[in-house]
């Protein structure tokens, strides 16, 4: 709900503050007084692009600021959250235009783009002007009208929940199917690589160990010569070191009783003797491990060549990396099987949800088909009352091939403006003034059932008078029992129905400039203003009496 609209330095408006009540606010004034200028300023709040030509005083900014009460508007609060904006009980929206052409928009003091501003304010203000057909062109709005009057809220909630589940699982299924298709393209090659590695059956560090062993075998003669020479010197020479140390050890043991100080040396010699004996044994063992088997060397070289070939092929440098790759391939091929199982399960789940979705969609469709002729009949009655007796309104429903966000129905609001027998989409068949009256009729039917933003009607009563104007006034007043309505009007019948009456007029400021002013009329001022709308600048007693009757009714 709009609580306050502040306009500064816009066109011929110096400073205007509009504070509408919660019901029907009527705005009247002489032609050219500035009523449309106020709407132009409001359009800036709704995200329209700005023009520096609207600035009266080029030294000051143009500021348009609107205060909205949004505590009971969950849709708007959700939209704020989606845009990561502050959610407060009152929402303040501001546009600033500087003389250099720079325009800025703010929601609760946070800068926003015009796209975001337009998106969010559409949930706060519904502006009906000449040639403004946006609502009636939107399929969602048309469907919302049907569902509101058919009281489809519980069914629609159930359908929306199922539809979201259906879309989610469809997305998951599409992703996994695409993933499987990609994996299947690669699976044959991966299986070939895996089979190749499994056939080779490498062991941990095998290639590195084989490389080292082959190096030893290729130098076997030199290695054996060195090992034999060392062992010969220790155990088999003319004076083997091991034997010499044994003799020294025995001799030292013989004098330890007469020279105790020699005992530590004797122990060390004994230890060296045992160590050299062990070294000689180890040299003999290593010598036995060295082979000169040419056939074995050939086999090992071939194994090594295959190993290095695999390393190069897979861009790795160790046997263990090849084994890791082998494990990875096994897991990926196993995942392909797991993915196939997941797809099968998702397909079954999708079919189940789809079946439930269609069942609820059919119920919704049946309710809509039932209520559509009733709505059309009521709208036609109201159109006759508001001065469109030759117009015929019709609601067309047809089935869609697949369920959509609102069901399986495609809805169209059609109009035959002059009993021609040819029904066209309403926005193509109706003029601007007719469009506003059609929207008024439709929204009056949904007033109780639908949440609507602040409704602003501009020239909804263009081209009508008398009883038709009175019926428009009645509809506006009834609509305002449920929603805030602001109506700019030239008809006394409409102006008289307002719970608050704003009067727009021109004034001359202290600098001799003409500027637009706005004030709320008191009862007698209101009677005079309505009388002037009936009988001119100097209304007759009859016009005054008529005005009093209109205000009293």
Top-confidence residue, 416 or 299 = 416
Strand partners, 93: 66, 107
| Distance (Å) of CA 459 to CA 167, 432, 495 | 43, 9, 12
Both 115 and 210 in a single domain? no
- The verdict on residue 538 lying in a domain is no
pTM here? 0.66
Q: What CA dihedral angle connects 519, 522, 527 and 529, to 10 degrees?
A: -10
Q: Are 210 and 311 in the same domain?
A: yes
Please state, rounded to an integer, the average pLDDT across all residues of the chain: 86
Query: What is the C-alpha to C-alpha distance for residues 132 and 426, in angstroms, rounded to an integer?
Result: 12
In this predicted structure, what is the pLDDT of residue 492?
92
- Same domain? For 211 and 120 the reply is no
pLDDT of residue 130: 43
Contact yes or no for 354/163 (Cβ under 8 A): no
The answer as to whether 149 is a domain residue is: no
- 139 compared with 304, residue with greater pLDDT: 304
Q: Is the pLDDT of residue 5 over 90?
A: yes
Q: Mean pLDDT over residues 36-62, rounded?
A: 83
pLDDT number for residue 55? 78
User: In this model, does residue 131 exceed pLDDT 50?
Assistant: no
Q: What CA–CA distance (Å, rounded) separates 383 from 441?
A: 7
Distance CA 244, CA 271 (A): 14
SS3 237: coil
Among 224, 273, 225, 275, residue whose Cα is nearest residue 253: 273
Q: Are residues 116 and 1 in the same domain?
A: yes
Look at residues 317, 340, 362 and tell me which one is the last residue of a structural domain. Answer: 317
Domain boundary among 300, 317, 334: 317
The residue count of the chain comes to 553
Pairwise CA distance, residues 436 & 452, whole Å = 16
User: Which secondary structure element, helix H or strand E, spans residue 500, and what is its range?
Assistant: strand 500-508
Q: Can you give the pLDDT at residue 372?
A: 94
Question: What local confidence, expressed as pLDDT, does residue 218 receive?
Answer: 66
Are residues 114 and 6 located together in one domain of the fold? yes
Range ranked top by mean pLDDT from 94-108, 243-257, 351-365, 434-448: 351-365
Q: Tell me the residue range of the domain where 504 lies.
A: 1-124+453-467+482-520
Q: Which of 221-225, 335-339, 385-389, 487-491 has the lowest mean pLDDT?
A: 221-225
User: What is the distance between the alpha carbons of residues 108 and 67, in angstroms, rounded to a whole number?
Assistant: 10
Residues 4 and 103 in one domain: yes
Question: Which one of 295, 317, 339 terminates a domain?
Answer: 317
pLDDT score at 350: 94
| Per-residue confidence (pLDDT) for residue 354, from 0 to 100 | 95
In the predicted structure, residue 226 carries a pLDDT above the cut 70: yes
Does the residue 289 lie in any domain? yes
Q: Which helix (H) or strand (E) holds 4?
A: strand 2-10
Has residue 406 got a pLDDT over 80?
yes
Residue 107 lies in a domain: yes
Domain membership of residue 172 (yes or no) is no
Per-position DSSP letters for 34-82, written without gaps between them: SHHHHHHHHHHHTTPPP-GGG-SSTTS-EEEEEEEE-TT-HHHHHHHHH
**From edge to edge, which strands make up the β-sheet containing 514-520?**
125-128, 454-458, 485-488, 24-29, 500-508, 514-520
Judgement on whether residues 120 and 211 belong to the same structural domain of the protein: no
Ranking 213-222, 303-312, 402-411 by mean pLDDT, the lowest is 213-222
Range of lowest pLDDT (286-290, 329-333, 503-507): 286-290
Give the pLDDT confidence score for residue 221 in this predicted structure.
65
Mean pLDDT of 195-223: 80
Please give the tally of structural domains in the chain: 2
Residue 80: pLDDT above 80?
yes
- For the cut 90, the answer to whether the pLDDT of residue 27 exceeds it is yes
Q: Are residues 2 and 110 in the same domain?
A: yes
Residues 214, 117 share a domain:
no
The confidence band for 514, taking pLDDT boundaries of 50, 70 and 90, is confident
Residue 178 forms part of a structural domain: no
Span 468-483, mean pLDDT?
A: 89
In a domain, 276, yes or no: yes
Domain assignment present for 409? no
Condensed to tens digits (0 to 9), the pLDDT of residues 420-457 reads: 889 998 888 887 778 888 888 888 888 777 777 888 88
Mean pLDDT, rounded, for 529-542: 90
Confidence band of 137 (pLDDT split at 50, 70, 90): low
CATH of residue 27's domain is 3.40.50.300
């Amino acid at each position: 709900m709009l609580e306050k609209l502040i306009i500064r330095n816009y066109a011929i408006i110096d400073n205007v503050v509009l504070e509408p009540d919660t019901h029907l606010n009527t705005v009247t004034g002489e032609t050219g007084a500035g009523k449309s200028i106020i709407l132009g300023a409001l359009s800036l709040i709704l995200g329209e692009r700005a023009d520096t030509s609207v600035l009266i005083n080029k030294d000051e900014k143009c500021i348009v600021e609107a205060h909205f009460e949004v505590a009971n508007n969950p849709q708007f609060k959700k939209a704020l959250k989606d845009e990561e904006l502050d959610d407060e009980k009152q929402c303040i929206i501001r546009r600033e235009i500087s003389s250099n052409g720079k325009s800025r928009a703010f929601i609760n003091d946070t800068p926003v783009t015009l796209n975001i501003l337009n998106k969010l304010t559409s949930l706060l203000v519904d502006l009906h002007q000449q040639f403004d057909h946006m609502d009636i062109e939107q399929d969602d709005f048309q469907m919302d009208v049907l569902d509101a009057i058919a009281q489809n809220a519980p069914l629609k909630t159930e359908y929306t929940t199922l539809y979201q589940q259906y879309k989610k699982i469809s997305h998951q299924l599409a992703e996994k199917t695409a993933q499987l298709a990609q994996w299947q393209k690669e699976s044959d090659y991966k299986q070939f690589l895996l089979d190749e590695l499994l056939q080779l059956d490498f062991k941990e560090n095998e290639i590195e160990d084989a490389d080292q062993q082959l190096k030893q075998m290729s130098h076997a003669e030199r290695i054996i010569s060195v090992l034999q020479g060392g062992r010969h010197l220790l155990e088999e020479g003319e004076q083997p070191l091991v034997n010499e140390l044994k003799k020294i050890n025995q001799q030292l043991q013989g004098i330890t009783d007469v020279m105790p100080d020699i005992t530590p040396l004797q122990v060390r010699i004994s230890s060296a003797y045992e160590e050299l004996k062990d070294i000689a044994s180890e040299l003999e063992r290593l010598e036995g491990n060295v082979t000169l088997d040419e056939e074995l060397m050939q086999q090992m070289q071939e194994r090594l060549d295959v190993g290095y070939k695999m390393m190069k092929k897979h861009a790795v440098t160790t046997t263990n990396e090849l084994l890791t790759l082998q494990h990875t391939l096994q897991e990926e091929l196993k995942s392909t099987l797991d993915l196939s199982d997941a797809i099968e399960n998702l397909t079954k789940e999708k079919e189940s949800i789809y079946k439930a979705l269609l069942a609820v969609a059919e119920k919704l469709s049946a309710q809509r088909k039932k209520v559509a002729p009733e709505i059309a009949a009521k709208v036609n009655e109201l159109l006759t009352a508001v001065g469109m007796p030759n117009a015929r309104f019709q609601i067309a429903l047809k089935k869609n091939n697949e369920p959509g966000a609102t069901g399986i129905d495609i809805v169209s609001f059609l109009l035959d403006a002059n009993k021609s027998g040819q029904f066209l989409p309403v926005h193509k068949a109706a003029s601007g003034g007719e469009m506003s009256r059609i929207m008024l009729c439709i929204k009056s039917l949904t007033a109780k059932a639908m949440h609507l933003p602040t409704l602003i009607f501009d020239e909804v009563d263009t081209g009508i008078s008398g009883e038709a104007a009175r019926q428009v006034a009645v509809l506006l007043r009834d609509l305002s029992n449920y929603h805030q309505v602001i109506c700019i009007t030239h008809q006394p019948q409409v102006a008289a129905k307002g719970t608050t009456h704003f009067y727009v007029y021109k004034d001359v400021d202290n600098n001799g400039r003409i500027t637009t002013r706005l004030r709320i009329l008191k009862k007698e001022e209101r009677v005079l203003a309505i009388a002037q709308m009936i009988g001119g600048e100097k209304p007759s007693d009859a016009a005054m009496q008529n005005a009093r009757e209109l205000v009293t009714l």
